[in-house]
């Protein structure tokens, strides 16, 4: 959803809430208070949904990591052959460096 569509939808919900409360109760003060309460409720729901998504992704990551430990395969982080090739090309330009200096860079 685009940001402009979101803002329009939010404005429509808040304005319709204010209008319905004003027509039903004939009180401007109550319309403003309920509209503010509605906006706070929407913000709390948004915050809760973001927390839920973070919890869900960390839970999925945790089960993925626990499956790796159950398999008994403790693999070190692997660099692809592309990164090895790139590193070799970089260091071929600098022949005066020793292997110890190469290890310090990585």
44-60 pLDDT tens trace:
999 999 999 999 998 88
pLDDT more than 70, % of the chain: 59
DSSP assigned state of 85: H
Nearest-5° Cα angle at 31, 30 to 35: 115
Do the Cβ atoms of 32 and 18 come closer than 8 Å? yes
pTM check: above 0.75: no
**Spans of all domains in the chain:** 1-71
Gap between the Cα atoms of 102 and 85, Å rounded:
14
């Amino acid at each position: 959803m685009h940001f402009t569509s979101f803002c329009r939808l939010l404005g429509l919900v808040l304005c319709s809430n204010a209008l319905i409360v004003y027509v039903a109760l004939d009180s401007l003060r109550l319309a403003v208070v309920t509209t503010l309460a509605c906006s706070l409720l929407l913000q709390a729901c948004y915050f809760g949904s973001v927390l839920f998504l973070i919890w869900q992704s960390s839970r999925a990551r945790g089960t993925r990591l626990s499956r790796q430990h159950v398999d008994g395969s403790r693999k070190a982080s692997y660099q692809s052959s592309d990164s090895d090739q790139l590193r070799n090309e970089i260091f071929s330009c600098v022949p005066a460096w020793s292997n110890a200096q190469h290890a310090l860079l990585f």
